[in-house]
Amino acid sequence: MGHRRLPAFHQGQPSGWLGGSAKHVATGQFILYFQSLLNTDIVYTNLGCRRDKHQSSDVAMCTAIAMHLSDFPEAVLTKHDLGPRVHCRGGGPEVRFQWYDSEPVLPVLDGGMLKIIPWGSRDPNGTLPTTGWTWRQTVEAGSWSWAAPEPVLIPAVYGFERGVWYRITEGIHGLLVQGPSGPRVYMICEPPTRYYRVMTRSDRMPWLVGEVI
């Protein structure tokens, strides 16, 4: 049975990091594709956050993020074939990136440029950790020095964990590292606040930029 569509947390244009010249509203075939994605089953949790009824709740960490479609230059949308990642909720179309995609990737801001980078590693025979996350204390201790690490911003406006979508104001700290097949990005996590633990039932949370949930 479907659920009533609810108003989005964010209305209007994003305040984001890409600058006016890099913001493009999708047109043409993209809009035709978005119109086919307007029916989304979303309900509220008792904490005022979105819960997607059809998502699994047995995961351990932030397994998806979303950005407003208008934050993406059309060239990036086309180059990385992001059309299938577009979903719509009350506030308009957004692009979602999920750890459980067949080829998981994340958007990052590196040197002021928006890039789409493979998310972590799943290769059990590779040199990089087979995960998509790393602890903040591990990063700060210098344990990634062997992989030429660089701090980057994951410009998420929503995060998803254990069935709950929650609003993010400025983004998530990420770590860009170099692997045998090129750069990879890991989401940086830290111990959860009490509120985040209650909201998601998780023992860790993403290290957010300029805010604490």
Over residues 41-66, the pLDDT tens digits come to 332 222 233 333 333 333 457 999 99
Number of Cβ within a 10 Å radius of residue 49? 20
Higher-confidence residue of 48 and 190: namely 190
Q: What spatial distance separates the first Cα and last Cα of the chain, rounded to whole Å? A: 32
For the segment 158-182, the average pLDDT, to the nearest whole number, is 94
The residue type of 140 is E
Query: Which tokens go with 186?
Result: 């890991």
Residue 110's DSSP bridge partners are 113
Cα dihedral 178, 161, 169, 30 in deg (nearest 10): 80
Condensed to tens digits (0 to 9), the pLDDT of residues 59-115 reads 457 999 999 999 999 999 999 999 999 998 777 899 999 999 999 999 999 888 899
**Assessment of whether the complete model's pTM goes beyond 0.85:** no
Q: Can you give the pLDDT at residue 31?
A: 36
Domains of the chain as residue ranges with CATH: 20-206 (3.90.1680)
DSSP state of 77: H
Q: In angstroms, rounded to a whole number, what is the distance separating the alpha carbons of residues 97 and 178?
A: 21
> CA angle at residue 200 from 168 to 42, to 5 degrees?
70
Q: 105-110 and 164-167 as β-strands: parallel, antiparallel, unpaired? A: unpaired
For the segment 1-21, the average pLDDT, to the nearest whole number, is 31
Mean pLDDT over all residues of the chain? 76
Of 26, 126, 121, 35, nearest to 82 by C-alpha is 26
